[in-house]
Structure 1
Amino acid sequence: MAITPKQRAAIAAILAAGTLATAAVLLTGRSGSADPHGDHGDAHAHGAGQASASAATPAADKHADADAPIALTDEQIQRAGIAIETAGPATIQSGLQFPGEIRFNEDRTAHVVPRLAGVAESVPATLGEQVRKGQLLAVIASTALSDQRSELLAAQRRMELARATYQRERKLWEEKISAEQDYLQARAALEEARIAVQNAQQKLTAVGATPSAARLNQFELRAPFDGVIVEKHLALGEAVADNANIFTISDLSTVWAEFVVAAKDLEHVRVGETARIRSAASDGKAEGKISYVGSLLGEQTRTAKARVTLTNPNLAWRPGLFVTVEVLTAKAAVPVAVQADAIQEVDGKRVVFVAGPKGFVAQRVVPGRSDGQLVEIREGLRPGVRYAARNSFVLKSDLGKDAAGHEH
C-alpha cells in the first residue's frame, strides 16, 4: 500500500512531537535530581561543620581555661588574705592516727560508800558540784556507829580505872606495903585496857568516823579528795547499806584519752611517746604522754588498749568526748614541703596554686607525710617555687566559677 505525501507529513509531525516531549522529560528529571541533592549535601556539610566547630570549641576553651593562670592584682590578693610562701626542705614528724574517747582518770576517781548502814539525815552535796577534800557530803544516822563509839567510851573508862589501880599498886609496892604480884597484875590490866581503847579507835578510823560527835550515831561522810561529783545516788531520809555506792567523785584536772591499737601498729605505740589529741567536736588540741599500752590483745578484736594522760586545767576535756589520737613517729627531713592549707582538691586531684608572672596556676602534686602543719610533696613541685599557702580555697573557688561559666 502506497503512502501518500499527506500521510508522510502527518507521521513526521507525530515523530517530531514525540521526540520533543521525550527531550523535555529528560531535561526536567536531570534538573530536579541535581538541585535537591546538591542543596541537601551543602546543608548537611554546612550543619556538620557548624556542629563540629561548636562541639570542639567548648572543649578547647575549657582545656585552655583549666591551664590558664588566675590573674589577681596585689590588692585582690591582699583583700582575699592569700599568703604566698616558698616551697622548700623541711623536717616533718608524721604520726599514726587512732580514734579515741576521753574517760575518767580511774586513778583519781572514787566510788564513795558509807561503810556503815543507816538513814540519810542530810545531803548537802549536789550533782556536778566541785568539792574539796574533807568537805561534808552527807550525814547518816547509824546504830552500828553508835555501838562502836559506846565501845570506845567504855574502853576509855576501863583504861582510866586500870591506870589509877596501877599507880596505887606501884606506890604500895615501892613502899614495901603490898606484894610485887599485885603490882604486876595491875600493870597487865592497864596494858589490856590500852589495847582495848586502840582497838575501838581503829574500828572508827576504818569506817571514816571521828571518835566523838554531837550524837553517838551521827556519821559524817566527807570527800576523799578534790574533785567533781559526777554521780549521786542518795536522797534525804533514804536508807543505805554499808556498801552502797552513793557518790562518785572524779578529779577532772587529769583525764585519760583511751584508744585501741592494732597489732601491726604496736611497734610505733610505746609508753612515754608523745601523742597529740584533737577533739572531733571542736578545735581543741592538746599533747600528752602515752601512759599505758596493754600487754594482751583482745581475743575478738586482736587489738590492745592504750591511753594518754592529759592535763585538764579548764575542764575542757569532758569524759565521753570523741577524739583523734595521733602518735608521733620519728622526725624525717624532706626536700620539698608546703603548708597543709595550700593543698586543694580539684576534679579529684590534689593541686597547689603556684604563683607565676601571669597569675596563679593549679599545679597537680602528690603529697606524702604530714605533721598537720606541713605536707611533704613527692611529685609536682621543685624547691624555691612560690605558692599560695593560706586561703588558697579562694583560688579554687575562682577556678570553679570559670569552669561553670564555660559549661553554660
Structure 2
Amino acid sequence: MKRLTNQQRLLGGAAAAVIVLGGGFAVWSMTRGPEAPAEAAAEAEEEHGAGEALEMDAARIQAAGIILAPVGSGSLSAEIVAQGTVVGTPQGEAVLAARADGVITGVSLRLGDSVRAGQTVALIESREASSIAAERATAQARLTAARQALAREQRLFDSQITARQDLEAAQTVLAEAEAEARRTSSAAAAARVSGDGRSTGVVSPISGRVTVSNATLGAFVTAGTELFRVANASQIEVQASVSADDAGRIAPGDRASITLPEGEVQATVRSITPGVDAESRAATVLLTVSGVGGLRPGQAIAVRIYTRDAQTSAGVSVPEEAIQTVEGREVVFVRTATGFNPVPVIVGQRSAGRAQITSGLTAGQTVATRNAFLLKAALGAGEVEH
C-alpha cells in the first residue's frame, strides 16, 4: 500500500506541472495578442531581407561569368543609340599587292597567321624585276667608271697636264652617275627585288594578322593585284551612323560606350562628318576606343553616345539586366570590397536595354550586369538556409 501511495503522489505532481505550464501559456497568449506571430515573422523576414550582403571574391565572380559595369550618369532621353561598325585605323590596316607582273613562286603565310612589319609574305618571279636589277647593275658600273675617270683627271690636273675644264667635266659625269645609281637602287628597293634579280617581294608594312589571302602558288598576277590584307587588332576605331538631327547634338569629346558580352567598352567622339550620306541620309560619327576589349575589325555593334545634355542632366542609368526582383522589390547588386550588396532601387524609364534609376544608386558605383540573376539565386539559397 505504501508503494501505491508514492506512485499516486508522482502522478499528481506531473499533472500539477502540466496545469501550471498550460495556464502560463494561456496568460502569455492573451497578453501577446493574435497578431504577435505575424509580427515576429515580419521582423525575421526584414532582418533577412534584400539588404543581406553576398561574399564573393574576384575569382568566383570571373568563374561565374558575372560582368561588372559602372553606373552611368545622365538622363536616357539625352542619350543617342546608334549602330556602328569596327574598322581599322589608317595605321592599323594594310593591303599587300603585287608590285609587278609575274608568277607567284613563294607564299610564306596563310589566313590568320601573324606577320611582322617588313616581313616578306610572298615572292613573284617577274621580267620587270630582272630589268630593274639590270638597270641597277649598269648604273653601279657607270658610277664606278665615273669615279675612276675623276680620279685620273684629278691627278692630271694636279700635274698640270690637263685643263680645269676636263676636271670639271669628269666631276659632272660622276654626279650624273651617282644620281642614276640612286634612282635604280630606289626602284629596286620599292619593287623589293631579290638579290638574284629574278623576283619581287610582297612585304607587309605593319604588324598584325592576315585577314585576307588571295595568293595561290603558281598563279600569274598583274601589278596592283591585291594578294593579302593585314590588320592590327589593337589599331581600331568605330564608325557610327546617326541622323542629321542627332548629329547636331553631338560634339567632339563626347563620351560613348559600347556594350559587349565581356562588358562595356568606353569610347570618345573624335569627329562628325559635316554632311549626310546621299543614300542613307545619315551622318558618320568617328569614335576613338579606350582599350580594345573584345572588338574586332568588321564587327557590327551598338553604340550609346552621351551628349553634353546627358552628361550634365541629373539621374543615373544601368543596363536592364542588372535589375533583379527580390521579394517583390527591384534591386541592383552593387560591388563591395568583399562581394555584392543588393540595393533596392526605383526604376524610371527604360530605353534600348538601359533603365533610368531615380533612387538608390549614385554615378560611379560598380554593379553586376550580365548573369546578375546568379546573385539573386545565391541570395535566395542563403535565405532558405537561414
Smaller-chain TM-score bracket: 0.5 to 0.7
Partner of 2:296: 318
- 2:244 maps to amino acid: A
Residue 165 of structure 1 aligns with an amino acid whose one-letter code is A
- Whether 1:190 aligns to 2:169 is no
Q: Is the aligned partner of 1:238 residue 2:219?
A: yes
Aligned amino acid, residue 158 of structure 2: E
**Which residue, 266, 269, 278 being the options, matches 1:299?**
278
Residue identity opposite 1:232 in structure 2: S
Aligned pairs for 1:200-219 within 5 A: 200-207=184-191, 209=192, 213=195, 215-219=196-200
Q: Provide the aligned C-alpha RMSD in A.
A: 4.0
Which position in structure 1 is the counterpart of 2:121? 137
Partners of 1:295 and 1:338 lie apart in 2 by: 32
Measured at CA, do residues 163 and 81 of structure 1 come closer, stay the same or move farther in structure 2, by a change above 3 Å?
closer
- Cα 1:394–1:367 shift into 2, 3 Å: same
| Matching residue of 1:117 | 101
State the AA in 2 paired with 1:267.
Answer: G
Match in the other structure for 1:327: 305
Residue by residue over 1:160-210, the C-alpha shift from the partner in whole angstroms, topping out at 9 and shown as x without a partner, is: 111111111121112111233322222222222112111211222333x25
- SS of 2:313 mapped into structure 1: strand
TM-score by length of 2: 0.64
Q: Deviations over 1:261-310 (max 9, x none)?
A: 1122123322222211113xx24320111123111112344320112122
Q: Of 42, 61, 74, which aligns to 1:93? A: 74
Question: How far did residue 342 of structure 1 move?
Answer: 4.6
**TM-score of the aligned structures, taking structure 1 as reference length:** 0.61
Aligned equivalents of 1:91 and 1:188: distance in 2?
A: 73
Amino acid at match of 1:333: A
Alpha-carbon distance in structure 1 between the residues aligned to 2:317 and 2:179:
77
User: Could you list the per-position Cα deviations for residues 225-249 of structure 1 after superposition, in whole angstroms to 9, with x for gaps in the alignment?
Assistant: 1111100100111111111000111
**Residue of structure 1 in register with 2:257 after alignment:** 276
Q: Which amino acid aligns with 1:156?
A: Q
Q: In the TM superposition, what is the alpha-carbon distance from 1:131 to its structure 2 partner?
A: 1.0
> Paired residue for 2:358, among 371, 377, 386?
377
Q: Percent identity?
A: 23
Map 1:7-406; keep pairs closer than 5 Å.
72=45, 74-75=47-48, 92-94=73-75, 95-207=79-191, 209=192, 213=195, 215-279=196-260, 282-310=261-289, 313=292, 316-328=294-306, 329-334=310-315, 341-342=322-323, 352=330, 367-368=348-349, 375-377=356-358
Query: Which residues of structure 2 form unaligned runs of 5+?
Result: 1-41, 56-70, 332-343, 361-367, 381-386
Q: Measure the CA separation in 2 of the matches of 1:185 and 1:237.
A: 50
> Which SS does the other structure have where 2:74 is aligned?
strand
Q: 1:327 to 1:313 in 2, by over 3 A?
A: closer
